[in-house]
Amino acid sequence: MDLNERKKKILQAIIDEYIGTAEPVGSRSISKKQNLGLSSATIRNEMADLEEMGYLIQPHTSAGRIPSDEGYRFYVNSLMQRYKLGMEAISQLQDELIGRVNQLDKIIRHAAIMTSALTDYTTVVTAPSHKSDKIKKIDLVLIGANNVMLIVVTHTVKNQIMNIEIDDETCRVLAELLNKNLIGLGADEINFDMIKRIQSEIESRLSLHPKVLINILHFVYETISSMDETEIYVNNAKSILKYPEYANVEKARGIFNFLEDKESLKKLISESDGNGVNAKIGKENDFEILKDCSLVTVNYSLGSKAGGKIGVIGPKRMNYAKVFASLDTISSEIDKILRYYMGEV
């Protein structure tokens, strides 16, 4: 049985009502609050049909209906009204992101904060992988008596601190030789054997204990290798406590534990495919803990290259229209800002 226009309007009204109240929706509530021009009896009959078709669920015999996963999916695909962010929110977003344009990691972290502020849901953002970025410069800077900061510059800046006792001249020569051998290579092209081949050249210029030198080379390799790791940031995890769906303590604890599991989050986000804004609703998610949640994601670009993903996790009755509009706007703004910064516009 196909959904006729009347059934579509009633399904939309029920889902809109349930998104706002989290209470099962009855026919009388719809007939009073929605300008459908239909009697309670007619709405009740249509609701029974919608339940039979799998779009609604009646949680208790005497209760109204709530949307099923299939109902939400049809709503997102066919019924959801377009939501437009206000100019004030867009202007604030632009100002916040532009203010961090020289620090990519801060742009990405702040995108998570801004997304949570716009949607009031938990936000998960993956930072771009830099495995194929070409190394532009390597520097070693002495900070304090026994600490050296290694700085690796690509499109972004990666730095790590090592506890080791060497002087400024040693730092300078090491940086010179690392630059000579590694500039122009991507992190995915560099292995430890390649870095170790620099050892004899370093030994001809510096009098370093062999163990100290090997430790330094390992440190350089580990720092460059870590550029291949996908960072993931979670913001506003506590927002789930606002929603009655998570009133059960064990359920809330399970969600919190999941949000602390970085590897599971990376798997969850990476499995969200497609262009534009996409939603995985309830059982469409592979993780059992998310069967009562929805995940909405969008890709963002790093100039002309693939960047990462921004995701929103919330109850299945989330305000999809607002979440879709927020993610679409944020990804577009990040793309514009980074294209400008990288000289691609």
More confident of the two residues 128 and 318: 318
Q: What gap in Å lies between CA 147 and CA 205, rounded to an integer?
A: 21
Q: Taking residues 55-71, what's their average pLDDT? A: 90
Q: What gap in Å lies between CA 175 and CA 268, rounded to an integer?
A: 39
On the question of pLDDT at 220 being above 70, the answer is: yes
Q: Taking residues 6-21, what's their average pLDDT? A: 94
Residue with tokens 């996790």: 313
On the question of pLDDT at 128 being above 80, the answer is: no
> Each residue of 257-312: pLDDT tens digit?
999 998 899 888 887 766 789 999 999 998 999 999 999 999 887 666 667 889 99
Is residue 162 helix, strand or coil?
strand
The reported pLDDT for the residue numbered 228 is 64
The reported pLDDT for the residue numbered 195 is 83
> Each residue of 32-43: pLDDT tens digit?
877 788 888 999
> Each residue of 176-190: pLDDT tens digit?
999 999 898 887 788
The reported pLDDT for the residue numbered 103 is 64
Q: Is 143 exposed, middle or buried (0-12, 13-18, 19+ CB in 10 A)?
A: exposed
- Banded model confidence at residue 17, pLDDT cuts 50, 70, 90: very high
DSSP 132-147: TPBP-EEEEEE-SSSE
pTM above the 0.95 mark?
A: no
The reported pLDDT for the residue numbered 126 is 87
Work out the percent of the chain whose per-residue pLDDT is above 90: 37
Q: What gap in Å lies between CA 110 and CA 127, rounded to an integer?
A: 11
- Banded model confidence at residue 159, pLDDT cuts 50, 70, 90: confident
Q: Which two tokens stand for residue 327?
A: 């993610």
> Each residue of 78-127: pLDDT tens digit?
999 888 887 887 787 777 776 665 566 677 788 888 899 899 999 999 87
The reported pLDDT for the residue numbered 310 is 92
The reported pLDDT for the residue numbered 101 is 56
Range in 136-140, 220-224, 250-254, 320-324 the model is least confident about: 220-224
DSSP 186-235: BGGG--HHHHHTTHHHHHHH----HHHHHHHHHHHHHHHHGGGSPPEEEE
The reported pLDDT for the residue numbered 303 is 62
Work out the percent of the chain whose per-residue pLDDT is above 70: 90
Range in 136-145, 188-197, 237-246, 298-307 the model is least confident about: 298-307
On the question of pLDDT at 342 being above 60, the answer is: no
- Banded model confidence at residue 1, pLDDT cuts 50, 70, 90: low
